[in-house]
Amino acid sequence: MQINIRSSYDSFRELRENNAYYVDKTEMIEEYLVRRFDKAVMFTRPRRFGKTLTMTMFRDFLDIRQDSKEIFSGLKVMEFSDVVESFMNQKRCYSCRRHRYRNIHK
């Protein structure tokens, strides 16, 4: 299996479908949805540190309009069966300006 190493992905789905190299950060989905959830979460990181990729990861996990089991297969978040059953593809997600500025509603 060939690994695709590209420096800039801004779509989690595209990254996974292209078999790109990825350090699994999906455990943060469980952390923020179960342990730290509030009305708003702000991800502050320096430029080019994956803010957009993080938001598309959340969108792809939560959005009711898509089936995300395949792209999250084998990742840490799938070990949390309660989170997968309660949240995966259960919420309506809205986006503006390509992949930026997400509103995730309960």
Alpha carbons 3 and 50: distance in angstroms, whole number: 19
Please give the chain's pLDDT, 106 residues, in tens: 666 666 677 788 888 888 888 888 999 989 888 887 776 777 777 777 778 888 889 989 998 888 999 999 999 999 999 999 989 988 887 765 454 445 555 4
> Which residues span the domain enclosing 50?
12-105
17's torsion region: left (phi>0), alpha (psi -120 to 50) or beta? Answer: alpha
State whether residue 87 is helix, strand or coil.
helix
pTM of the model: 0.76
Number of domains in the chain: 1
Q: Determine the pLDDT at residue 69.
A: 92
Whether residue 16 is contained in a domain is answered as yes
Whether residue 100 is contained in a domain is answered as yes
Whether residue 5 is contained in a domain is answered as no
Q: Annotate 49-58 with b (16+ C-beta within 10 A) or e (fewer).
A: ebbbbbbbbb
Q: Find the DSSP H helices in 31-101.
A: 51-62, 69-72, 81-87
Whether residue 77 is contained in a domain is answered as yes
Under 8 Å between Cβ of 38 and 56: no
Whether residue 18 is contained in a domain is answered as yes
